[in-house]
Structure 1
Amino acid sequence: MELDLGAVRAFVAVADDRHFGAAADRLGLSQQAISKRIAKLEAGLGTTLLHRSRGGTVLTGDGEAFLPHARSLVALADQAVAAVGSPDRPLRVDVLGTRLAPTELIRRFHEANDDVEIDIVTSRGLRSGLSALANGTVDAAFARVTGVLDPRFEHRPAYAEPHRFLASRRHRLAGRRRIRLAELAGSVAWMPGNEPGSEWANLYAEMRREFGLTINVDGPDFGLDHMIDELASSPDRYMFTGDRMRVPWHPGTVQIPVVDPTPVYPWSVVWHRRNRHPALPRLIEHITTEYRPFDPDRQWLPLTDRRDGRFG
């Protein structure tokens, strides 16, 4: 069969967001249009790629097998367009997730630079972000950088994001104005989105070892809305969120700052040294100017982030 690139792109968007509505918003389409494109793709392939439920969307076995090839097709198409595109094409920025802090950082950049057209792209962190930077399908990516990057890439600290405690209003700590990190020793944080091997899962593994926490990654992960519903219904579960993370409001949950120390998530902006998009230097300058350094007296970072001085 001849694959419809629009249908493949729709499938990748839903696979990333695990929600048809979020994917539709990102692609500027209606949910009905997204559904029709994926139904056409599944009919052509003769298999089911996605299952929809009240809690979100999950990939079937065939969907998991098809996803990396679908990503490659979309990336190759974007690369082809970029090779012949006009110099004033949008600045493409990878933000890992549209609810996370980097989206807010980019929004603030756009408010100060409203002449710059921006395309938001989501992926799965540096594991896919670096290849996208290398092939030119994105101009900048926000992620936690660990270790030494390939010399083709450059990076700067963007935001040391304070953590918050998110739990049911029935949780024993729900009435606090602040929660000391030591008070969570021996407790279990429920974080099914912590993919093994990802830069964010590794951060929480280091936090777990240093402060005696337990991180429960049991899933499946049906998306943030479903996780909030689950937290609201449980008097014991909690999770960590970021200070600028767009958490859906729920009457049964509370968010409380974590202190003494405050764990922070070290976001960096990463780009390819040979990227010549005219708006990229403006984005880097804005992020560098806005950045507020990590405070070792009040905040905590994993040893791997402290050791190289990246967030000093």
Structure 2
Amino acid sequence: MELDLGAVRAFVAVAGRRRFGEAADELGLSQQAVSKRIAKLETDLGTTLLRRTPAGAEPTEDGAAFLLPARALLATADQAVDAVRSRRRALRVDVLGTRLATTELVRDFHESTGADVEIITSDGLRSAVPALLRGSVDAAFARVLGPLDPALAHTPVCLDPLHVLVGATHPLAGRREVTMAELAGTTAWMPGNTPGTEWTAWFTDLAAEFALHIETRGPNFGFDHLLDEVARSTTTVTFAGEGVRVPWHPDLVRIPVAPPVPCYPHFLLWRRDNRHPLLPGLVAHLKADYHPPTRRECWLAPPDRHLFAG
């Protein structure tokens, strides 16, 4: 016999809710329609699946035996439908923040190809990896630290040079560039550096290499608040990548770091078995624009030094 999936779905809903009315609301049907579907399913199977009691509807012994495989059947059917629909939806790309260089890379891909993309923000590697594995995103940008799940592929796509942000009255404000040696002993205020994240680990390595101190004191009220505080101070310093879109501020000065400039590496990650038709194009587009750095150009943190050319 061929099972009617609509009838199976009605049975599973009633078995889960224990009430026909609640199951009907869940399915967007009338109680009468739910009852008719279950009655037909019972006729087809030649058994009673549910019994009505004062407390609601309870599965019979046959109903309890049917319930688990019925749920598995519906899950498989839903996956089959999603496998087709997912090829027609926008490519979902996870980014750490919309102000970062990685978002500009996605925008360039969209404008160059007309590809339909959807930007999703998260908190980096620790949320991107589970999202990729469960299929809620198709690709994600993060700094890769250590081994990844074998189901995931990754490639470097961007190295973002470090810039210094200071207020207009800061002693460095008139400089066209600054060396890392000149910044030795500097305290940089970065309240967004969350313990355990890949970007905080990068700044920890940076501080150790160049005798800096990274201060994370105080609550993080967001990037705009940080810039306001830096702009009005004569002593406060913070860092941002060259590719970070920093909003214009009349009292904020942005100073590039002289080579070899510390560079933050961004990788693209994706699930190897992802079949979204736009994903190969995004990977190829980003790979084409990436060029490995030399030691004269960039300083890379120890975990990232495999990215050097040669």
Same fold (TM over 0.5): yes
Map residues 18-167 of structure 1 onto 2, 5 A cutoff: 82=82, 85-114=85-114, 116-167=115-166
Kindly, what percent of the aligned residue pairs are identical? 52
Q: CA deviation at 1:310?
A: 3.6
Q: 1:296 to 1:183 in 2, by over 3 A?
A: same
Q: Taking structure 1 as the reference length, what is the TM-score of the superposition?
A: 0.72
1:92–1:139 contact (8 Å) kept in structure 2: yes
SS of residue in 1 equivalent to 2:182: helix
- Equivalent residue number for residue 298 of structure 1: 297
Query: Is 1:208 aligned with 2:207?
Result: yes
Q: CA deviation at 1:258?
A: 0.5
Q: Which runs of 5+ in 2 are unaligned?
A: 1-21, 23-78
Q: CA deviation at 1:146?
A: 1.1
Partners of 2:294 and 2:165 lie apart in 1 by 23
- Equivalent residue number for residue 260 of structure 2: 261
Q: Taking structure 2 as the reference length, what is the TM-score of the superposition?
A: 0.72
Q: CA deviation at 1:142?
A: 0.5
Partners of 2:219 and 2:282 lie apart in 1 by 36
Number of aligned pairs?
232
- Whichever residue aligns with residue 289 of structure 2, its letter is E
Partners of 2:110 and 2:308 lie apart in 1 by 24
Partners of 1:88 and 1:187 lie apart in 2 by 51
Map residues 267-306 of structure 1 onto 2, 5 A cutoff: 267-306=266-305
SS of residue in 2 equivalent to 1:250: coil
Q: 1:186 to 1:275 in 2, by over 3 A?
A: same
Cα root mean square deviation, aligned: 1.7
Deviation readout 1:3-59 (Å, 9 max, x if unpaired) = xxxxxxxxxxxxxxxxxxxxxxxxxxxxxxxxxxxxxxxxxxxxxxxxxxxxxxxxx
- Whichever residue aligns with residue 101 of structure 1, its letter is A
Query: Is 1:251 aligned with 2:259?
Result: no
1:259–1:298 contact (8 Å) kept in structure 2: no
SS of residue in 1 equivalent to 2:127: helix
Partners of 1:151 and 1:311 lie apart in 2 by 24
SS of residue in 1 equivalent to 2:111: helix
Task: Please tell me whether Structure 1 or Structure 2 has the larger radius of gyration of its CA atoms.
Answer: 2
Partners of 1:241 and 1:133 lie apart in 2 by 27
Partners of 1:212 and 1:231 lie apart in 2 by 21
1:139–1:275 contact (8 Å) kept in structure 2: yes
